[in-house]
Amino acid sequence: MLRKVVCVALPGLAPFEFGVICEVFGIDRSEHGGPVFDFHVSAAEPGPIHTKLGFDIVVTEDLSTAANADLIAIPAYEAGEPVHPEILRVVRAAEARGAWVLSVCSGAFVLGAAGILNGRRSTTHWMYTDALARAYPETDVDPNVLFVEDRRVVTGAGTAAGIDAALHIVRKELGAAAANVIARRMVVAPQRDGGQSQFISAPMPECRSDSFAAVTEWMLQNLDQDLTVDQLARRSLMSPRTFARRFRADLGTTPTAWLNRQRLLRAQQMLEETTLGLEEIAAETGFGVAAVMRHHFVKVLQTSPTAYRRTFGARRVG
């Protein structure tokens, strides 16, 4: 069970990525039905820790707090700077005892220096993926994803992708309901589709069509229906081809993939919170029959609906 979380503060840390870890794991959300973690910020040498933006944060705890942590989190920092050997020891020890290890953005270089990325897939911010692959050739660096989990070692891509990576761990340990509470409080999507490759070439325009907000809301309200691109395009007053192209440009995925992801999320929630049978859940979420739902569970989550319910069903958090 995910209880104790230790965020390691390194010299040159990036305040946003550090803040992401603190926001996800450091806030008591029990009044909204969310989890409460035993959260610590620790440093190899407690005291003022200099940040990339020129100000200091003061850390009072040393790395002894990490000895029995369920999760060690490493925020982004000035990659290439020497890493205190005690931090590397803590990361290795966490991985060896089966604890979660999370890095955000350039924090992956700490995991690489500790040797725990060897033989694993990994990612980091797209600006640093080539450098990570050169520095640590025994890891398979994927530049196109928001995060990678490989045997309880999670590497997140740039900046806000740290939220996706952290929520993924919460979802795996405590279930979708717990992750959804945190996401709702943070006003972020509980699970994003797509990957960081969509952000590499050029940012999307700030002004996006309101019609997609309307149609995606309608899709969520009608997941049990047989929704086709032609039908969705008519609701958006576009041709099917234009609708599909603009939907992918705005949301980073195809209408069908987005719809399947939302159906899967709804099915996860129903498996956790209801006692409905698999056929009923498959019908209400638009998969039609349990066999089709099972196919999507195995493909995306690497587990079956039955196993998922056995792990997360009727789970209380806090």
Amino acid at 164: D
Alpha helices in 74-156 (DSSP H): 85-96, 108-114, 129-135
pLDDT, mean of residues 60-82: 95
The residue whose two tokens read 């056995």 is 310
Average pLDDT, the chain: 89
* CA-to-CA separations, 310 to 42, 259, 297, in angstroms, rounded: 35, 25, 14
Phi-psi group of 39: left, alpha or beta (phi > 0 → left; psi -120 to 50 → alpha; rest → beta): beta
Handedness of CA 260, 266, 272, 276 (dihedral sign): negative
Q: In this predicted model, what pLDDT tens digit does every residue of 250-298 receive, in sequence order?
A: 877 899 999 998 999 899 889 988 999 999 999 999 999 999 999 999 8
pLDDT value, residue 80: 79
Mean pLDDT check: name the lowest of 63-72, 111-120, 231-240: 231-240
CATH superfamily of 4-186: Class I glutamine amidotransferase (GATase) domain (3.40.50.880)
Instruction: Give 188 or 98, the one with higher predicted confidence.
Output: 98
Whether the predicted pLDDT of 302 surpasses 80 = no
What is the C-alpha separation between 213 and 205, in angstroms, rounded?
16
Q: In this predicted model, what pLDDT tens digit does every residue of 27-57 receive, in sequence order?
A: 999 988 899 999 999 999 999 999 999 999 9
What is the C-alpha separation between 86 and 160, in angstroms, rounded?
28
The two three-digit tokens of residue 54, written as one number: 């020129």
What residues does CATH 3.40.50.880 cover in the chain?
4-186
Pairing label, strands 121-122, 71-74: unpaired
pLDDT value, residue 204: 33
Q: Which CATH number is 208-318's, of 1.10.390.10, 1.10.10.60, 3.40.50.300, 3.90.79.10? A: 1.10.10.60
Instruction: Give 16 or 177, the one with higher predicted confidence.
Output: 16
The two three-digit tokens of residue 86, written as one number: 């005690």
What is the C-alpha separation between 296 and 182, in angstroms, rounded?
25
Instruction: Quickly state the pLDDT bin for 228 (edges 50, 70, 90).
Output: very high
What residues does CATH 1.10.10.60 cover in the chain?
208-318
pLDDT value, residue 211: 58
Whether the predicted pLDDT of 318 surpasses 80 = no
